[in-house]
Amino acid sequence: MDQELSASQTASQTSNLSPSPSGKPRAAVLMIQGTASDVGKSLVTAAIGRLMTRDGYRTAPFKSQNMALNSYVTEDGKEIGRAQGMQAEAFGIAATTDMNPILLKPSGEMSAQIVVHGVPHAALSAREYREKFLPEARGTVMAALERLRASYEAVLIEGAGSPAEINLKANDIVNMNLAGWADAPVLLVADIDRGGVFAFIVGTLELLEPHERQRVRGFIINKFRGDLSLLQPGLDWLEQRTGIPVLGVLPFLPQLRIEAEDSVVLEGTPGTRQQGDGKELDIAVIHYPRISNFTDFDPLADEPDTAVRYVSRAEELGSPDVILLPGTKNTAADLRYLREQGFPAAITAALKDGAHQLVGICGGYQMLGVKLLDPDAVESSEPGESAGLGYLPLSTVFLPDKTTVRVSGSLAADHPLRLGGGARAATAELGVSGYEIHMGATSNLGADAVRSLFRLKGADGELQPEGWGTLDGKIWGTYLHGLFHNDGLRRAWLDGLRVSKGLKPLESTFSAAAAREREFDRLADAVSEHLNMQAIYEIMGLQKTEER
């Protein structure tokens, strides 16, 4: 076995550096797969790419097919998986749709919107996707990968779920089939924190075909806590049992502030505060089943006086300072969920009992209106109309064409937001930027009852009003994702809440962008200390910078 593996590895390393069909040098590739979902593939990929970028290699991320509710808008207004956007930022490059050519956005238990190169392609059931779309997907995937390999020196390919899902392997375009098409060596990541790590690794290998098993060049054990010497006998056994080296045991990093791929990280802790009790501002985010882009609220949780908690049951809501309705992949379905769970009554009671604001972002903004129209059955099985929560005099029409755009601008001169923090907030000259992802157009049915929040410049370069709020600023909504990543506005808004509670404003804040860079470096530094990067370079057929 060892001789066969060595020969396969040598062949893979040689072909990894072969020229493209055009004769140009092809980037080296490495694939990071996992023994299961949520074992840390995205962050391991981000860390390795950050380290390679530090070493002078122009490195790009790639994931052929990503299923996620958290998405990212590229500079040219296209939609990709949030993880690949995050990885591109970690590598110091602009994200493109080639980095995630196929994005699946679940819209129901057995259906999803299929986004191809950033544009909605079709809404398909799981069976339709496998039978109608996947047979044609290889060309899309490989063309995107080849463009990346022609533009960069290294491409890190992230797998999805597990490569040992027997029922999915025939039409696989994201794990071992893709590794074969790209002739990529594979590292297998396993999560020791969930237990059974050796069974996960050995079991995964046992379910792979011999030619697939030969591609696995190393193991990475992730999220380790404790004394490594106590784990060492198991590592020795694993290497002897499989003939494959353990390239690193990565530590569990508490409170790592790098955005999560999907809402699985919110499960199991409903109603709990992310940053602990005892903080002066309490913000409750309603966690409905199809929540999306909840990373909008990460900077709020990083503020020293603010606790952010996610609630999925009405009885958990209480009387927070702010109730946030986040984005959703299906506004109508999650609105039904709110009603089934008794949230409308709980929200009304909270507002009467001292909650200072009710805020909606994207789908949550649509819910705040009086009616939702779906003439083309974009969000439902048939055309129809449904009632919103009725807090704002707004009407939303769902449209077949999705809006995906990066925008920037400023607060409207007469905006109703309650801002605190002295002269800076009083001038209302705070810049704002972010992105929009939605399939609806929202209009004002009561011009005198609400005021617009922002003046934003979109793709056409024209300033347009965006977002609406009540005159007293107690209820407002916007399509703007990334709103709270605007440092000055975020702090001024929180200080306004403090003033409403009789507290002094803090005024000082932090840079969300700088904090993000520090977290990327914190991740990379930890991985560098515990991962054999020299072995990884050798697997890829590359040299470290000082040896180039």
Would residue 356 show up in a list of annotated catalytic residues for this protein?
no
Q: What gap in Å lies between CA 113 and CA 126, rounded to an integer?
A: 10
Q: What gap in Å lies between CA 393 and CA 369, rounded to an integer?
A: 6
Buried b (16+ CB within 10 A) or exposed e, 450-489: bbbbbbbebeeeeeeebbbbbeebbbbbbbbbbbbbbbbb
Q: Residue 491: CB partners within 8 Å, gap ≥ 6?
A: 303, 421, 506, 507, 508, 509
With beta carbons less than 8 A apart as the criterion, state whether 88 and 94 touch: yes
Strands 111-116 and 119-125, by their bridges, are: antiparallel
Q: What gap in Å lies between CA 22 and CA 1, rounded to an integer?
A: 36
Q: One of 287, 356, 438, 481 is an active-site residue; which one?
A: 481
User: Which of 43, 149, 29, 123 has its CA nearest to residue 87?
Assistant: 43
Q: What gap in Å lies between CA 443 and CA 453, rounded to an integer?
A: 14
- Cα separation values, 159 from 67, 98, 272, 284, 416, Å: 11, 15, 31, 34, 46
User: Which of 424, 423, 404 has its CA nearest to residue 486?
Assistant: 424
Q: What gap in Å lies between CA 487 and CA 514, rounded to an integer?
A: 11
How many CB atoms within 10 Å of residue 232? 12
- Cα separation values, 125 from 105, 129, 172, 290, Å: 12, 6, 17, 16
Burial class (CB in 10 A: 0-12, 13-18, 19+), 353: exposed
Q: One of 356, 362, 438, 485 is an active-site residue; which one?
A: 362
Would residue 415 show up in a list of annotated catalytic residues for this protein?
no
Strands (DSSP E) found in 425-470: 431-444, 450-457, 463-470
Could you give the residue numbers annotated as active site? 362, 481
